[in-house]
Amino acid sequence: MGKNISEKLKSGAVIALQGTLGTGKTTFVKGIALGLDITENITSPTYTIISEYYGKKALYHMDLYRIDSYEEFELLGTDEMIYGSGITIIEWSEKITDYLPDNTININISILPDKKRKIDIVGIQ
Ligand SMILES: Nc1ncnc2c1ncn2[C@@H]1O[C@H](COP(=O)(O)OP(=O)(O)OP(=O)(O)O)[C@@H](O)[C@H]1O
Ligand SMILES: [Mg+2]
């Protein structure tokens, strides 16, 4: 699914990727990276907060689990990424929802009783 979606992402796209602990957010980003021809291994940026990868487009993978305020987020230089020409994907974006661009794509992953994943996507043309 991530790989398929990657073809529809325009330069500068911002994705708010939501879902509780361990639903498969980082796994979904791996699919997107595959679609962007990124060969590097995608790891969870829980401690580094942001990982940058370069393929057909730049991919900024953020994980805000450990971020406490918008100020802390902004000090990491995130505006340049969010308003740049790469693709920005943000796990735990709930923490900064009010500051995201109006055209942010929302993807929500949830786990069904049979352990399959339900992926809701809003905002991709
Ligand atoms: N579509 C899927 N179907 C079944 N299992 C999956 C799927 N996606 C991910 N998983 C499994 O779920 C576990 C958690 O995946 P992942 O690390 O991608 O979740 P996460 O939402 O990024 O977690 P965190 O909240 O810690 O950032 C992994 O063991 C992964 O293999
Ligand atoms: Mg993750």
pLDDT digits (tens, 9 = 90+) for 31-69: 999 999 999 999 998 889 999 999 999 999 999 999 999
What is the mean pLDDT of the segment spanning 66-87? 95
pTM for this entry:
0.95
Number of domains in the chain: 1
pLDDT recorded at residue 47: 87
Ligand 1 binding pocket includes 25 (Cβ within 6 Å) = yes
Does the structure show a pLDDT above 90 at 125?
Answer: no
CATH number at residue 57: 3.40.50.300
Burial letters 47-58, b for 16+ CB under 10 A, else e:
eebbbebebebb
Does the structure show a pLDDT above 90 at 109?
Answer: yes
Minimum CA distance residue for ligand 1 atom 25: 21
- Four-residue CA torsion sign, 115, 116, 122, 124: positive
Ligand 2 centroid distance, CA of 5 (Å): 18
Does the structure show a pLDDT above 90 at 76?
Answer: yes
Expressed as residue numbers, the domain containing 73 is 2-122
